[in-house]
A and B are shown apart, each in its own frame.
Chain A
Amino acid sequence: MASTTNQAWLTVNTVRLEVLGRGQGRPIIWLHGEEGLDPSAPFIEMLAAHGQVLAPSHPGFGHSPDASSVDTVDDLAYLYLDLLAEGNLRNSVVIGSSLGGWIAAEMAVKSTERLGGLVLVAPLGIKIGDRETRDIPDIFALPPTEVLKLQYRDPERAAIDPSKLSDDQLTVIARNREATALYAWEPYFHNPKLRQRLHRIKVPTLLLWGLDDRFVSAANYGAAYRDAIPGARLETIDRAGHFPHLEQPEALVGRVQAFLGDRRP
């Protein structure tokens, strides 16, 4: 599967994936969140200066077909562990954002054999409040504009004008929402067992959080994540909401670079 600079297709355990590949060197797996993967997002190129970036679209997202055998985050975690194994990738850095952070955490509690480090960017996936306290706003019950206000420091920037997008782009947006519902509907954006399993993560772990994240906060949700992973560090990024890779790509990649530098193979 060695690397290249283009969009490619990979088949892992019969599941077909659209994968964006950029750069050379140490494997950096980017697991996107519920917003999907924008191949033109600047952070991808920036990351590719530090290694071989592989960014799959999860089944149902982007152009990756639905896979009937895959309908949980647990399935996705095993799928990407299989991807690492089939490519014989070692010392990989897995970076996941939001939903992708949840997937990355689920991978790491299962096996860190092929992982050199873990970067969780405002990950979801754990339950911290009581049963009547929703940790994560219900995006399926809020008006779409309210969701953008919670997720972006600058919601204007994230608003889309459908009249300027192609059918293909609109289809990807619709599929991303559908796939998010598939994986995150219930239990809502979390696995009730994940928090008690996070202690199993024995690789260096960095948690990155937008300081203006109004969706899930660093002080509350981020701190709970940090406290559950031995030795994990929680850092915040100024002037960024829930998706710092989109609102502050340089800062995000800078933090990742420093993390990689600390952990040279």
Chain B
Amino acid sequence: MRAWFFSENAYHLLPDKSEYDSIRVKLPNRYYDPKIGADLYHRFMDEWQIAEDLGLEIMVNEHHQTATNLNPSAAVVMGALARDTRKARLLILGNPIANRREPVRVAEEMAMVDVYSRGRLECGFVRGVPYEISAGNHRPTRMQERFWEAHDLIVKAWTSHDGPFNWEGKYFHHRQVNIWPRPYQEPHPPIWITALSPSNAGDVGERGYVVACFLTGFEGTQAVFGAYRARRAELKLSTPPLDRFAYAALVYVGETDEEGYAGAKKLMWYLESNKVPPQFTSPPGYHPTASTVNTMKGAVPGIFKMFQNPALGPLMENGLVFAGNPDSVYRQIMRMYDHVGGFGHLLIMGQAGFLDHDETVKGMQMFVREVYPRLKELS
């Protein structure tokens, strides 16, 4: 198994939650102090470099108009890390291509990071969480169709080397596509795609990309990985190796369980602070109609209940948080691993909120020294 260190680069110095009604989309940026922000950027870049020094891989993501994540451009951050690192694989998970106006620009940026890093880019594509809809001003309906057209255009831009090609699709139009640079890796950087539901997972499986689940717990993750494997079996495609599956959780390893739980509670800031009203969590068309109907009836999908009132116990029981001493964390990871048929990538959300630099680094060090060697043996 490979482990990836991931941080949302949050700006956590916010007024009390009662003073605003949404941390996403509409929180005024007067609450953001660019001088503190600059220090935070440098601190987070340092932590990614430390992750590399410790032997971890690096993951960056992207969100917009939110204090929970100050990376509105994953390409910019990864461009800097491509220069500051030498050996780690660099995962962007991902580019929200259903919300981006210019897939060709995404193809260019990703090719550039790939070349700059001498072929270390792993390129993720995501549909984007619902709160990204207003920030991107993009229509929440028929997103999958737009997502896959953007994907097709990007892959074609990466793999066409004989001058311009034409693209007049349903959503995107370019008559002269001919990107410079082209990617370093052949035929292109490995592709990752996140899936929250089994319906999308089958489409990812069919293409053989890495499928990633974020905080989906035991049942949700099993459903996604199962659908991926089932679609490949159905189409008589090769059995996917473990490195096609990734799971993201909040992870904190301490010397004792108590220290691990204390670190994890600080990581939970990310869930606790995610105050978002329904018009931004459920833009019409983003969720399947049937699940919207269930929500109207007051049903909250199991996994989201935990986000409403996050508590460490239930989050750990459901596999969204792996925390404690090294043996405890190893056991928790293996319980998830065994439940979902195995996975080859652990995406470690290892910094959030008030977890300071020393605590963040200690959590990484403990993981690398005490847990990672046992996980590496799994592959």
Contact = CB atoms under 8 A, between A and B. Distances in A.
Nearest to A162: B296
Nearest to A160: B296
B1 to A, nearest CB: 40
Interface string B252-280: 00000000000000000000000001111
Contacts of B138: 185-186
B328 interface: no
Contacts of B140: 181, 185
A174 B293 contact: yes
B278 A144 contact: yes
B297 A170 contact: yes
Contacts of A178: 141, 284-285, 289, 292
B289 A171 contact: yes
A41 interface: no
A142 B22 CA distance: 12
Contacts of B26: 141
Interface in A160-184: 162-163, 167, 170-171, 173-175, 177-182
Contacts of B279: 140-144
Contact of A174 (B137, B283, B296, B298): B296
A94 B279 CA distance: 33
A51 B293 CA distance: 36
A174 B289 contact: yes
B285 A143 contact: no
A171 B293 contact: yes
B9 to A, nearest CB: 25
Secondary structure dominating the interface of A = helix
Contact of A175 (B137, B283, B289): B289
Contacts of A180: 284
A71 interface: yes
B85 interface: no
Given A140-B279, A140-B283, A162 B289 contact: no
Contact of A140 (B134, B142, B297): B134
Contact of A162 (B277, B280, B283, B297): B297
Contacts of B284: 140, 174, 177-178, 180-181
Contacts of A142: 279
Interface in A9-52: none
B293 A163 contact: no
B54 interface: no
Nearest to A182: B141
Nearest to A175: B289
A182 B296 contact: no
Nearest to B290: A171
B25 to A, nearest CB: 7
A173 B296 contact: yes
Nearest to B133: A140
A207 B280 CA distance: 34
A144 B292 CA distance: 14
B264 to A, nearest CB: 33
Contacts of A181: 139-141, 283-285
A59 B65 CA distance: 33
Nearest to B25: A141
A167 B285 contact: no
B25 A71 contact: no
B141 A170 contact: no
B329 to A, nearest CB: 41
A45 B327 CA distance: 72
Contacts of A182: 139, 141-142, 285
Nearest to B21: A143
Contacts of A170: 293, 296-297
Nearest to B280: A141
Given A141-B280, A143-B278, A180-B284, A185 B141 contact: yes
A128 B289 CA distance: 34
Interface of A: 71, 140-144, 162-163, 167, 170-171, 173-175, 177-182, 185-186
For the complex of A and B, the 6 pairs showing the least CB-CB separation, nearest first, are A177-B284, A185-B139, A178-B285, A174-B292, A181-B284, A182-B141
Given A171-B289, A178-B284, 17 more contacts: A71-B142, A141-B25, A144-B278, A144-B279, A162-B297, A162-B298, A170-B297, A171-B293, A177-B292, A178-B285, A181-B140, A181-B283, A181-B284, A182-B139, A185-B138, A185-B140, A186-B138
21 contacts: A71-B142, A140-B283, A141-B26, A142-B279, A143-B277, A143-B279, A162-B296, A163-B298, A167-B293, A170-B293, A171-B293, A173-B296, A174-B296, A177-B284, A179-B141, A181-B141, A181-B283, A181-B285, A182-B142, A186-B137, A186-B138
